[in-house]
Amino acid sequence: MDIKLLLFIFIPIVFFIMYMFLAHFKQGFEEDMKLTRRGYYVVVLIWISLFSISFYEKIKEFTIIEVSWSPQYRFNFIFFLAGICLLAVIWDFVFISCRTLINIKLKNTEFTLDEIKSVKYVEMLQENEIDTLYAVLNSKIKVLKYIDTRLENGLDVDINELYESVIKEYAKIRKQIKVYTYYDSEEDISRMQKDIKLTLESLSSIMYSINLFGFCKPQEFRKSKYIFAKLNTKYLNENIIFVLKGNLLIDKEHIIIIEVISYLEQKLEIEVLKMELFTSQHEE
């Protein structure tokens, strides 16, 4: 077989193996599906162009169907290009686009691959960590329902207590982790230092990271993992600093709580608008 033909067969196989390897091992590689598909079609177009130029004479002489209404070589090229384009689209559909349509069932709850990938802060999990992923996703869903239940009667709630109860509810459902909440004040930061037994140096380093990046994941604790994070609250006078503790924390799990509180604040905003509308209607 012609060495050039072998190369043209071998190169797409190499690209496919590279794609599958990166999609499996590199976190976030498939998150931008548009970019992935554009790259794929660019490679396909380059391959078709080079193949057509390299094997022009052979394609020209190759005959599958005899035609009389058009020059044979022209029909050969149209037939060849149509076939390759069709294969490229089928390949895209089977191996790229439809990878995100797979449903994954964890225990009794079913998630699509897109829903799993939407949890961007989840690192590549090992088989024995699948229960942790289920616990995180399940806890988030249940806490959102808890918020809906708490706000069924509108704003007839203690807002300060509501923020803390939502965070505690997440820890309660999540299990195997603990959550500590503090206000971003000197008094509460001092209390946090005593509760977690932080040195002044560690506290300063953690607070610097929290204020700069919004979270801190110190490596100095040996018995348990800790994540310190800050919540910029909309309906409280002070922001909240919360601490996640546990051996089964996922990377950046604090973002789950931030998203849950964001949902809470959206619901509160809707209730505030309802109340303002109700008040304005009665004043008229």
In the chain, what are the domain boundaries?
Answer: 3-100, 113-281
pLDDT of residue 169: 94
- Note the pTM of the prediction, 2 decimals: 0.56
Which of 23-37, 53-67, 71-85, 165-179 is least confident?
A: 23-37
pLDDT of residue 23 exceeding 60, the answer is no
Mean predicted confidence (pLDDT) in 96-111: 49
Nearest-5° Cα angle at 41, 71 to 38: 150
Range 113-281: architecture per CATH: 2-Layer Sandwich (3.30)
Our CA dihedral for 66, 67, 70, 75, rounded to 10 degrees, sits at -50
Question: Which residues, 6 or more positions from 48, have their beta carbon under 8 angstroms from its beta carbon?
Answer: 81, 84, 85
Asked if residue 11 lies in contact with residue 54, where contact means CB atoms within 8 angstroms, the answer is no
Asked if residue 104 lies in contact with residue 111, where contact means CB atoms within 8 angstroms, the answer is yes
pLDDT digits (tens, 9 = 90+) for 190-246: 999 999 999 998 999 999 999 998 999 887 777 678 999 999 999 999 999 999 999
Question: Which residues, 6 or more positions from 90, have their beta carbon under 8 angstroms from its beta carbon?
Answer: none
Which of 72-86, 123-137, 205-219 is least confident?
A: 123-137
User: According to the per-residue pLDDT averaged within each range, which of 9-13, 141-145, 157-161, 280-284 is highest?
Assistant: 141-145
Joined together, the tokens standing for residue 59 give: 């394609």
Amino acid 219 reads Q
User: According to the per-residue pLDDT averaged within each range, which of 17-26, 131-140, 187-196 is highest?
Assistant: 187-196
pLDDT of residue 30 exceeding 50, the answer is no
